[in-house]
């Protein structure tokens, strides 16, 4: 019902705003939600999670494009770089693909792991890696926006050492590893460049 109501312009902002205030007061912003045929552990204070909760789906057009590409190529793997709460990972694991999910943000990792606990049928289909991919093996500083007292897991970005933590951003250290060494697909039948171009979900946020 809610996913239809939020399509009405006057309610599009009103419903999320009321939800944020109410759930924050009750401290019920985190929990399990039935999404896309499985249970996801999400936080209503996070804008990406909130969109998934309200719409019961996420980035439908992008999902449809990837689904078509995957079916046309008969691939068995999906690489999710910057997996966040894991919507893409869980969606394509449900489609019987082997998923490699990379996420350096500890809050996002917590949500993904809690989702896997509730969906045993997906447990053996998803490999979660607690680091990002880069051209060097290193520890880097990242920052995430803080809003409504919650450190958002979407929109995180690498920063330089001159920036410091404040009430608008949380700064934290994250691990990164060399992508070519981690993926190591030299012996795979698919060309690596083509494989990554089509099936990696890479975000530059």
**Interior/surface letters 123-144, b for 16+ CB within 10 angstroms, e for the rest:** eebbebbbbbbbeeeeebbbbb
The pLDDT assigned to 2 comes to 52
Determine the Cα–Cα distance for residues 189 and 187; give it in Å rounded to an integer.
Answer: 6
Binned average pLDDT, 10 residues per bin, the chain of 205 residues: 54 59 69 91 90 91 88 85 93 91 92 93 91 90 76 66 64 88 65 40 39
Pick from 168, 172, 164: nearest CA to 146 = 168
Determine the Cα–Cα distance for residues 81 and 59; give it in Å rounded to an integer.
Answer: 16
The radius of gyration of the chain from alpha carbons, rounded to an integer in Å, stands at 18
The pLDDT assigned to 202 comes to 42
pLDDT, tens digit, for every residue of 131-140? 998 888 999 8
């Amino acid at each position: 019902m809610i996913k239809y109501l939020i399509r009405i312009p006057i309610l599009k902002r009103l419903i999320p705003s009321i939800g944020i205030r109410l759930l924050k007061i009750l401290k019920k912003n985190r929990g399990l939600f039935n999404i896309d045929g499985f249970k996801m552990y999400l936080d209503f204070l996070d804008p990406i999670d909130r969109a998934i909760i309200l719409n019961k789906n996420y980035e439908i057009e992008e999902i449809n494009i990837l689904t078509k590409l995957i079916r046309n190529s008969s691939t068995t793997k999906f690489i999710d770089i910057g997996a966040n709460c894991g919507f893409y990972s869980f969606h394509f694991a449900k489609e019987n693909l082997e998923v490699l999910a990379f996420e350096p943000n500890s809050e996002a990792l917590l949500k993904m792991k809690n989702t896997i606990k509730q969906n045993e049928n997906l447990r053996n289909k998803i490999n979660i890696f607690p680091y990002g991919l880069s051209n060097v093996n290193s520890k880097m500083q990242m920052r995430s926006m803080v809003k409504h007292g919650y450190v958002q897991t979407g929109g995180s970005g690498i920063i330089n050492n001159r920036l410091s933590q404040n009430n608008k951003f949380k700064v934290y250290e994250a691990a990164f590893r060399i992508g070519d060494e981690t993926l190591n697909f030299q012996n795979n039948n698919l060309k690596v460049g083509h494989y990554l171009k089509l099936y990696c979900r890479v975000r530059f946020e």
